[in-house]
Amino acid sequence: MSATHASGPRGAASANVRSNAEIIEDIPEPPIASAVAAEMPGGVTGDDPQTPASWTDVTIHDVYDARVRIAPHLARTPMLTCRTISQLAGTDLGFKAELFQRTGSFKSRGAMNAALQLTPEQRERGLITISAGNHGQGLAYAASKVGTRAVVFMPRMAVPTKIDAIRGYGAEIHFSESMDDVFERMDEYRLAHDLTFVSPFDDPAIIAGQGTVGLEILEEMPDVENIVVQAGGGGLLSGIALTVKTLRPEVRVVGVEPRGANKIRKSLDSGKPERTGPIVTVADGLAAPFAGNLTQAIIGHYVDDVVLLEEDEIIHAMRLILERMNVLVEPSGAASLAAVLTGKAGIEPGSQTVVILTGGNVDRDKLKSLL
């Protein structure tokens, strides 16, 4: 077993690991993307239902903007390696360890980026969102940093540790009985209290924030040939894909969904937005009932393939990461490795591949049965 905080699986010297401050100094002056976003209908969230989404709505400049904006508040996550799992997978693996991000998942990147672009009036009133848990934690944390109110609508069966953490950051929680009515209930509350909605995934600020993971991967593993990314509503996948394909178009980007939450694959196949059927997956972070208009447009343009996983494949990968790396990821966080181990991600043997360990907020009550 070797799980090291390295700059890359090839064991590049730690001298190559640059601090956020150094990286930020090298970033070219960003254009006015954030200023444009602030002018959009719906504020920074840009949630104007009248405007059809286009893959051009978020650019690499938005991602560079996001990095500068969020860096003072968030961690630079490590790229881990594990020789045993690399051998099993037949590919030189880097594990981008987003479970060590503030709040235990990458979600705080997008949330922080959105919160930092609020107008003073929006900040005065507060934020509202819907979440299975990790976006709620990210938004609650971000709201506490910018000094605004956060309201999170969640399904009642959400993971208790995620509920506790959201409350711990000072946000208010409203429960709904199912994912089906949670959107409607949230919207009623939003209108009544004039709050700004921050989508968990379908928002230019969220996508650009998640895209910063892509910038870090390219720096930490410069010879990367494949990046495998798990998708719920597709914010992380679209952010990484637009970043990586803009800077290094030859890198293969593969998305991963549980078969029991297959909205993105289904929409790509039919060519129109589709809902997941009855959601059946242990990976609660990937259980979005539909993808976003914007995320789907970006994924359709940039992503090479989206593959489906069975439940036992996700659980097997989660166990392997724990046994071989001493790292406890939540089921959603193990899905990208599962796609590599099963061969579904279609990785060329011997190539260099990054998988994302997206979150570590495990349901403690379910842990025993999962393992």
Ligand X SMILES: Cc1ncc(COP(=O)(O)O)c(C=O)c1O
Q: Which residues bind ligand X (CB under 6 A)?
A: 105, 132, 134-135, 200-201, 210, 230-237, 285-286, 288, 330, 332-333, 358-359
Angle, helices 204-220 vs 107-115, to 10°: value is 130
The owner of tokens 């260099």 is 352
Enclosing H/E stretch for 158: none
Select 81 or 295, whichever has its Cβ closest to ligand X: 295
| Least distance CB 87 / ligand X (angstroms) | 25
| Least distance CB 249 / ligand X (angstroms) | 22
Select 63 or 123, whichever has its Cβ closest to ligand X: 63
* Calpha distance 45→218 (Å, rounded): 27
Please name every residue paired with 130 in a beta bridge, in sequence order, or none if there are none: 153
Please name every residue paired with 153 in a beta bridge, in sequence order, or none if there are none: 130, 174
Select 130 or 151, whichever has its Cβ closest to ligand X: 130
Select 7 or 197, whichever has its Cβ closest to ligand X: 197
Select 9 or 285, whichever has its Cβ closest to ligand X: 285
| Least distance CB 68 / ligand X (angstroms) | 21
The DSSP annotation for 214-262 comes to HHHHHHHSTT--EEEEE-SSSHHHHHHHHHHHHH-TTSEEEEEEEGGG-
- The three-state secondary structure class of 103 is helix
Taking alpha carbons only, the member of 81, 320, 107 closest to residue 224 is: 81
What does the block give as tokens for 357? 């360990």
* Calpha distance 150→129 (Å, rounded): 8
List, edge to edge, every strand of the sheet that includes 196-197: 172-176, 150-155, 127-130, 196-197
Please name every residue paired with 93 in a beta bridge, in sequence order, or none if there are none: 353
Strands 196-197 and 127-130: parallel
DSSP 77: P
* Calpha distance 94→217 (Å, rounded): 9
| Least distance CB 163 / ligand X (angstroms) | 14
Select 71 or 318, whichever has its Cβ closest to ligand X: 318
Select 107 or 123, whichever has its Cβ closest to ligand X: 107
| Least distance CB 339 / ligand X (angstroms) | 13
Select 268 or 288, whichever has its Cβ closest to ligand X: 288
| Least distance CB 238 / ligand X (angstroms) | 8
Q: For 202, phi and psi rounded to 5 degrees?
A: -95, 65
| Least distance CB 239 / ligand X (angstroms) | 8
| Least distance CB 232 / ligand X (angstroms) | 3
Q: For 268, phi and psi rounded to 5 degrees?
A: -65, -40
